[in-house]
Amino acid sequence: MADISLAVRGGEQKGFPVGTTAEAALKELLTSKERKRTVAVRVNGTAMDLATPLATDADLEPVTVDSEEGLALLRHSTAHLMAHAVVDLFGAEVRVAIGPAVADGFYYDFDLAESFSPDDLERIEARMQEIAAGNAPFVRTTMARDEAIRLFDQKGQPYKVELLRELDADTVSLYQVGDFVDLCRGPHLPHAGWLKAVKLTRLAGAYWRGDEKRPMLQRIYGTAFYDAKELKKYLQQLEEARKRDHRKLGKELELFTIQEQVGPGLILWQPKGALLRKLIEDYWKDEHYRHDYELLYTPHIAKIDLWKTSGHLDFYGENMFSSIDIEEVRYQLKPMNCPFHIGIYKSRKRSYREFPVRWCELGTVYRFEKTGALHGLMRVRGFTQDDAHIFCRPDQLEEEIFNILDLNLHILQTFGFAEYDVYLSTRPEKYVGSDEHWEAATEALKLALEKKGLAYEIDPGEGVFYGPKIDIKIRDVLGRAWQCSTIQVDFNLPERFEISYTGEDGREHQPIMIHRALMGSLERFFGVLIEHYAGAFPLWLAPVQARILNITDAQLGYVDQVYRELRAAGIRVEKDDRNEKLNYKIREAQLAKVPYMLIVGDNEMAAGQVTVRLRDGKNLEPMTVAGLVEWLRVESAASMGAAAVAG
């Protein structure tokens, strides 16, 4: 007797008795191969356990182990398993908070008097394996919310009680695995036997519900995969990321240093890093000149009144260093460049005829960051923005945004970044400016993005209070996303500084102001570049493009000659004329990631040539210095926009 009819993904319908579980139904609707990869099911679009009894006609969509959703499910279930292990090992006084799946794995937050040690992770992991080995099922039950509150209150689980009190539902679901019961919406895996490839990765503190005023909990992060090989691959990737860590490479390659005596978050650029920065800056300035920008320079401090007028003191005060008294006048170290650019705007009357005005500056700003937030070059207290401000009429906004996007992508591509995540942030709850302005500007941003052919996501309400913005995150060779570019429309500063231009009609109008940074900060961008290329920079960016290695002292004079000729031709060259074996010199040049090694022995000296060894170990045919200069010129240009290599 068939009471309900079920189908998979709109396929052929089949009849089943009411109360048939999804699992039983899928047994008949799927091939056994598909069934084995299925860990949950979407019933009319809603994710559910396989054990769910079905009461109505439905369309079923299997959730499989090879899907994103299936992986998240595994990790979520693993979080429960971990909580189980923690309670087993640390006793019922452990208070459990929440344990979701996140991007690379999962975490669970706990509250207990003693603190976890790194060794505990291994113990917990071992206990998890024991529980999983028993193939304990995940069992779902439902009960009235009030009953659940009583239950968790009785168990001494205040975080669960708090969550339950805020839930807007009469009945709630609980899941039990082994003898651990947790409040959870589900769904979960059928049983813990799936949870084999698990690794607990790190310990961390985390505020309850991310709120600084709430208790600090202990968070355990971990990850899980269906396949042990996948886990191994993931751990290898972590290892690869560690090898590329810009702080490690920055030290090894002598690119930058941070000294305790100087201060946290303040970067000292060593000669090689400084040279690389000069190359970036020169390129940046050239491109901006080509795109009709004009370059500005502005000071590092200004009277505090400027920051009162701009509103930074009120809205950005907690990110600013405290002010400095100079002859009884208070001055403020700048956290942004915009007020200075406005100062230049105000230096004379402006006409619509000169619009759009495009002013750029590599402006060094200082922002107060909490010590705990600092991180190598990625998060610092003093940094240089590749800033620009564009003043234009409302009707020019869309085209200007388009131009910015165009320049932006061109520059990012030249540095080898071809993948982006683009976000458009719209009006937040608290904002300045009229609704019409917001709407028009947001529309202009959208149109420009679409015209540029960029796929983007909308972040509703995530705009800054003064206007909508576009953020671009670049993806590095390991697939990690980094916030760099930001393009922001500003309705606020033109108003506050009362800037205007004379329009066609002879009247004064308020210009639209756009802030934008493409690389974001030179420091962070440099950090991302280091990790992207693993320190092996493309030829056009390599601080040292070539190093001359002689075989014996007999070639010292020739080494000098080649060195001088290459320098004169503008090649960034070094010489290693130490009395060491060639093997030794090659090894050092290799570790220094120098792209070209120029080997010079008696043969080369006699022929007036150099033998060229590349960073990948291959050799080129011997060539003359003039030939090499031409070769490097071509290769250097070709290396702009070249992709980085992973692994």
Partner RNA sequence: GCCGGCGUAGCUCAGGGGUAGAGCAACUGAUUCGUAAUCAGUAGGUCGCGGGUUCAAAUCCCAUCGCCGGCUCCA
Q: Which of residues 556-615 bind RNA (CB under 7 A)?
A: 579-584, 586-587, 590-591, 597, 599, 601-604, 611, 613
Binds RNA (CB under 7 A): choice among 12, 166, 170, 260: 260
Within 10 Å of residue 357's Cβ, how many Cβ atoms?
A: 18
Q: Smallest distance, Å, CB 490 to RNA? A: 12
Site string for RNA, 261-300 (x = CB under 7 A): --xxx-----------------------------------
Q: Smallest distance, Å, CB 247 to RNA? A: 5
* Whole-angstrom distance, CA of residue 180 vs CA of residue 139: 10
Q: Is-catalytic flag, 560?
A: no
Binds RNA (CB under 7 A): choice among 235, 295, 373, 643: 373
Of 95, 389, 547, 572, the catalytic one is 389
Q: Is-catalytic flag, 360?
A: no
Q: Which of residues 18-77 bind RNA (CB under 7 A)?
A: none
Q: Smallest distance, Å, CB 111 to RNA? A: 10
Of 76, 157, 338, 572, the catalytic one is 338
Choose between 70 and 467: whose C-beta lies nearer to RNA. Answer: 467
Pick the stretch among 40-48, 72-80, 377-385, 628-636 that binds RNA (CB under 7 A): 377-385
Minimal CA–CA distance to 220: which of 240, 237, 235, 198?
Answer: 198
Q: Is 219 in the site for RNA (CB under 7 A)?
A: yes
Tokens of 621: 């045919």
Choose between 336 and 632: whose C-beta lies nearer to RNA. Answer: 336
Of 84, 191, 219, 469, the catalytic one is 469
Q: Smallest distance, Å, CB 248 to RNA? A: 7
Minimal CA–CA distance to 521: which of 350, 325, 330, 337?
Answer: 337
* Whole-angstrom distance, CA of residue 473 vs CA of residue 457: 12
Decide: 586 and 547 in contact? Cβ < 8 Å. no
Decide: 293 and 357 in contact? Cβ < 8 Å. no
**325 forms bridges with which residues in the sheet?**
330
Range 113-141 burial, b when 16+ CB lie within 10 A, else e: eeebeeebbebbbebbeebbeeebbbbbe
Q: Smallest distance, Å, CB 220 to RNA? A: 10
Pick the stretch among 141-149, 372-380, 394-402, 505-513 that binds RNA (CB under 7 A): 372-380
Tokens of 633: 């010129």
Binds RNA (CB under 7 A): choice among 210, 479, 506, 647: 210
Minimal CA–CA distance to 271: which of 248, 244, 250?
Answer: 250
Q: Smallest distance, Å, CB 378 to RNA? A: 7
| Residue 515 amino acid letter | H
Q: Is-catalytic flag, 389?
A: yes
* Whole-angstrom distance, CA of residue 31 vs CA of residue 51: 18
Within 10 Å of residue 235's Cβ, how many Cβ atoms?
A: 13
Q: Is-catalytic flag, 199?
A: no
Angle between helices 397-414 and 435-451 (to 10 degrees): 40
Q: Can you tell me which residue has the tokens 């009006």? A: 427
Q: Is-catalytic flag, 387?
A: yes
Tokens of 299: 């000071």
Q: Is-catalytic flag, 469?
A: yes
* Whole-angstrom distance, CA of residue 277 vs CA of residue 455: 31
Q: Smallest distance, Å, CB 300 to RNA? A: 16
Binds RNA (CB under 7 A): choice among 376, 467, 511, 538: 376
**Angle at the Cα of 625 from the Cα atoms of 621 and 280, rounded to 5 degrees:** 100
Q: Is-catalytic flag, 303?
A: no
Choose between 111 and 399: whose C-beta lies nearer to RNA. Answer: 111
Binds RNA (CB under 7 A): choice among 298, 521, 545, 639: 521
- Cβ neighbours of residue 558 closer than 8 Å, sequence gap 6 or more: 550, 600, 604, 605
Q: Smallest distance, Å, CB 369 to RNA? A: 5
Site string for RNA, 190-209 (x = CB under 7 A): ------------xxxxxx--
* Whole-angstrom distance, CA of residue 522 vs CA of residue 145: 53
Pick the stretch among 28-36, 165-173, 214-222, 304-312 that binds RNA (CB under 7 A): 214-222
Q: Cα Rg for the chain, rounded, in angstroms?
A: 31
Q: Smallest distance, Å, CB 588 to RNA? A: 8
Choose between 12 and 212: whose C-beta lies nearer to RNA. Answer: 212
Within 10 Å of residue 531's Cβ, how many Cβ atoms?
A: 26
**Angle at the Cα of 151 from the Cα atoms of 149 and 157, rounded to 5 degrees:** 75
Pick the stretch among 60-68, 133-141, 278-286, 367-375 that binds RNA (CB under 7 A): 367-375
Query: What DSSP assignment string belongs to 48-86?
Result: E-TTPEE-S-EEEEEEETTSHHHHHHHHHHHHHHHHHHH
Binds RNA (CB under 7 A): choice among 258, 338, 445, 530: 258
Count of chain residues binding RNA (CB under 7 A): 70
Choose between 42 and 381: whose C-beta lies nearer to RNA. Answer: 381
* Whole-angstrom distance, CA of residue 182 vs CA of residue 224: 20
Q: Which of residues 420-479 bind RNA (CB under 7 A)?
A: 471
**157 forms bridges with which residues in the sheet?**
none
Decide: 445 and 455 in contact? Cβ < 8 Å. no
Which residues are annotated as catalytic? 338, 367, 385, 387, 389, 469, 515
- Applying CB under 7 A, the residues found at the interface with RNA are 115-118, 202-207, 210, 212, 216, 218-219, 247, 251, 258, 260, 263-265, 319, 367, 369-376, 379-381, 383, 385, 471, 483-484, 486, 517, 520-521, 523-524, 551-554, 579-584, 586-587, 590-591, 597, 599, 601-604, 611, 613, 617, 619
